[in-house]
Structure 1
């Protein structure tokens, strides 16, 4: 399982780098959210090792980072976040890989796929983006990721019953959803250039004028 997790992380990283996502930084305002992700997210991921808790769950922020940076740029940033966690918390290399996959790459990938589905099958408007993709979409992606990680044997630290663990993952998914939805709403209103997945032309269309 450790080999599979490492291989999955490397495959996703190489695929993301193949799109040369660094090109986005020279033409958009994504430098600020990228730096914020590298500074803030490691502390969220490292929290269980910095503060003892009976159920060691942490916020991910991966869906929020994916909305801001896009999937190709979010994946290497999330891998970098996992490396930074090793500097601020006593974690092993395999724990860093697990965090990169289950707190970063998997929810980011699910968020990307969900976003593509919403753009294809639902109307393009502000409420679908904020409520559907940013808020409820994040809740769904984080819960599915948590369930998959538990099903594949990446159980919570400490002896926690599986039923209690899945309930805890459901609740923490709502925390990620609220934060992502709030960030998306604020960014759309004041800093749309911080969202690589947002487009005024796509989501805010002037009403048709009858002739």
Structure 2
């Protein structure tokens, strides 16, 4: 999404910004900064730059509606949820600094577009670890591929619902001219998420915070 401040009432913009700041404050306190591996941190910073490039290449002809890869599932699996929330916020700040997003609408973009996908990724990882076998295929297919698609769709539904409730677009317009594109984009999100995580756990598994060698490899 690329929400425009004029599409929402002032109270909604303030609420989004306050919630985003509170969430980031919690994330800062939950990250174990002293145990972060330097090489992994460098890789994560590189991921922020790559995602920023993907978002700069977004498509969209109408205010508040843009189509681009989300990257939330990859970031969550790669860094863990708290560091992912901080990294995704850095990407949003970079876009705002470059004039691609409105500063006053950053909170809504963060809470409605990124938070749902991160939360769903955490939930699916928890479910997979308790309901499925400790298998690399399960990690890549369920936690990266399928969750990447589901996270994109969830973020799209949350964003479209917000635009509908704000009166920015009628329901018919959103269902006919926006939702189908997000469904198609979800498959791109799934493929990219699965491919990136598959490559990383083969060549750089120590960069993936949620991948445990002892769990997924030693038991094979």
Same fold by TM-score, threshold 0.5 exceeded?
Answer: yes
Q: CA RMSD in A?
A: 2.4
- The answer to whether structure 1 residue 40 and structure 2 residue 47 are counterparts is no
Matches within 5 A, 1:20-35: 20-25=31-36, 27=37, 29-35=39-45
Cα distance change, pair 56–38 in 1 and its aligned pair in 2 (3 A): same
- The answer to whether structure 1 residue 188 and structure 2 residue 201 are counterparts is yes
Separation of aligned partners in 1, 2:183 and 2:34: 36
Query: Of the candidates 7, 13, 17, which is equivalent to residue 24 of structure 2?
Result: 13
Cα distance change, pair 38–81 in 1 and its aligned pair in 2 (3 A): same
Separation of aligned partners in 2, 1:18 and 1:87: 25
**Residue equivalent to 1:2:** 13
Query: Of the candidates 181, 185, 194, which is equivalent to residue 168 of structure 1?
Result: 181
Give the SS at the match of 1:56. strand
Cα distance change, pair 28–206 in 1 and its aligned pair in 2 (3 A): farther
Q: Which moved more, 1:66-75 or 1:158-167?
A: 158-167
- The answer to whether structure 1 residue 107 and structure 2 residue 120 are counterparts is no
Give the SS at the match of 1:41. helix
Listed one character per residue, the Cα deviations across residues 124-172 of structure 1 (whole Å, up to 9, x for unaligned) are 11111000000011111211121122112279x9998221311111111
**Residue equivalent to 1:93:** 103
Separation of aligned partners in 2, 1:158 and 1:96: 20
Cα distance change, pair 115–206 in 1 and its aligned pair in 2 (3 A): closer
**Residue equivalent to 2:136:** 126
Separation of aligned partners in 2, 1:117 and 1:24: 26
**Residue equivalent to 1:63:** 73
**Residue equivalent to 1:204:** 217
Given that 2:150 and 2:186 are in contact with CA atoms closer than 8 Å, whether structure 1 keeps it comes out as yes
Unpaired runs of 5+ residues, structure 2, are 1-11
Deviation at 1:28, TM superposition (A): 6.3
Given that 1:63 and 1:180 are in contact with CA atoms closer than 8 Å, whether structure 2 keeps it comes out as yes
TM-score normalized by the length of structure 1: 0.85
